[in-house]
């Protein structure tokens, strides 16, 4: 398994030599490599078993560095960067030629983010290149929110994991690009639509693609445990429909009395969407460990962070 620690100098040496390092961010943990080095980026695809048509997001620490590998940045993108970076927002920007085709899956744009995590920002500040860093999990599986999650899933495929504690946001970044000057959300996430519109006005949402996505994180089936997930309207009615099966419950603010407590995971007894987002992937991972026939769940209130949570629930259930 991988070494887990907080030695940023060691992480820097590994990354500069083209190796993989898992990094903490406020959203989830990322599997990082030099985003401007095609051979290093290839190791990410190989370790995750990620299809080459699904592009990677590059992480750095300043807007000056963003400008070294992107071009023709819209004024609205600068306004969003000023408002929300460091933070859970990815901007889809026109790339320069120094970004390898593999990193962006041959697309003309690259996803860019400045994450809000002190250790990772310090590491990024020490590097001359951005880090391509999708979530540090096997492709399609539940995203990791602790260093141990990364080690459990990919520990044999990398040498070092930076332990930065539990991810505070718990779901991936919101991805925003521009189509014919119209701001477009390609992935709902840790930054709400309302927050974005407060800065730049109306946006359109275009969040799913079954194949050949135009941005990272757009595939319809994703974030899935090995156990089937069923998304329905009411937990009580779903339990009746699956009588006789060993069912786990992923509840927003309540569970069911006739289901064993150890087979239930409540996202927030207070009904707090921020807490629910932080606990979502932990809950899916826990229930997946229970050897269940299936997991049942319902949508959370579809406002603010709830839209990002519901997006993850729909995609985790897409093959259920």
Separation of first and last alpha carbons in the chain: 31
Q: Averaged in consecutive runs of 10 residues, what is the pLDDT profile of the chain (320 residues)?
A: 95 98 97 97 93 91 98 97 98 97 94 98 98 93 94 94 96 93 92 96 78 59 81 94 94 94 97 94 94 96 93 81
How high is the pLDDT of residue 225?
84
Cis peptide upstream of residue 254 (ω within 30 degrees of 0): no
Q: What are the structural domains, with CATH classification, of the chain?
A: 3-74+82-169 (3.90.870.10), 229-316 (3.40.50.11030)
Give the tens place of pLDDT for each residue, 70-99: 999 999 999 999 999 999 999 999 999 999
Distance CA 191, CA 168 (A): 13
SS (H, E, C) the chain: CCEEECCHHHHHHHHHCCCCEEECCCCCCEEEEECCCHHHHHHHHHHHCCCCCCCCEEECCCHHHHCCCEECCCHHHHHHHHHHCCCCEEEEEEECCCCCCCCCCCCCEEEEECCCCHHHHHHHHCCCCCEECCECCCCCCCCCCCHHHHHHHHHHHCCEEECCCCCCCCCCCEEEEEECCEEEEEECCCCCHHHHHHHHCCCEECCCECCCCCCCCCECCCCCCCCCEEEECCHHHHHHHCCCCCEEEEECCCCCCCCCHHHEEECCCCCCHHHHHHHHHHHHHHHHCCCCCEEEEECCCCCCHHHHHHHHHHHHCCCC
| pLDDT of amino acid 54 | 85
Rounded CA-CA distance 288/306 in Å is 22
What per-residue confidence (pLDDT) applies to 206?
85
Convert the pLDDT of each residue in 272-289 to its tens digit: 999 999 999 999 999 999
Q: What is the reported pLDDT for 1?
A: 84
- pTM reported for the whole predicted model: 0.87
């Amino acid at each position: 398994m991988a070494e887990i620690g907080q030695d940023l100098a060691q992480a820097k040496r590994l990354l500069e030599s083209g190796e993989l390092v898992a990094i903490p961010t406020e959203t989830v943990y990322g599997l990082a490599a030099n985003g401007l080095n095609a051979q290093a980026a290839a190791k990410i695809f190989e370790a995750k078993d990620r299809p080459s048509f699904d592009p990677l997001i590059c992480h750095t620490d300043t807007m000056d560095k963003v400008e070294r590998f992107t071009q023709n940045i819209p004024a609205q993108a600068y306004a969003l960067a000023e408002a929300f970076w460091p933070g859970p927002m990815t901007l889809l920007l026109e790339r320069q030629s120094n970004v390898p085709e593999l990193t962006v899956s041959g697309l003309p744009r690259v996803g860019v983010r400045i994450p809000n995590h002190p250790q990772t920002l310090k590491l990024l500040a020490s590097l001359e290149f951005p880090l391509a860093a999708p979530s540090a999990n096997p492709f399609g599986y539940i995203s990791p929110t602790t260093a141990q999650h990364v080690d459990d899933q990919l520990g044999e495929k990398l040498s070092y994991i930076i332990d930065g504690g539990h991810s505070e946001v718990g779901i991936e970044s919101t991805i925003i690009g521009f189509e014919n000057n119209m701001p477009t959300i390609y992935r709902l996430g840790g930054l709400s639509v309302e927050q974005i519109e407060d800065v730049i006005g109306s946006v359109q949402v275009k969040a799913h693609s079954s194949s050949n996505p135009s941005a990272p994180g757009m595939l319809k089936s994703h974030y899935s445990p090995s156990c089937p997930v069923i998304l329905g309207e009411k937990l009580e009615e779903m339990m009746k429909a699956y009588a006789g099966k060993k069912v786990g419950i992923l509840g927003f603010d309540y569970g069911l009395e006739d289901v064993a407590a150890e087979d239930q995971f409540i996202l927030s007894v207070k009904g707090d969407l921020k807490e629910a987002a932080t606990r979502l992937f932990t809950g899916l991972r826990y229930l997946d460990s229970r050897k269940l026939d299936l997991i049942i769940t319902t949508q959370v209130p579809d406002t603010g962070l709830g839209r990002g949570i519901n997006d993850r629930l729909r995609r985790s259930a897409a093959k259920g």
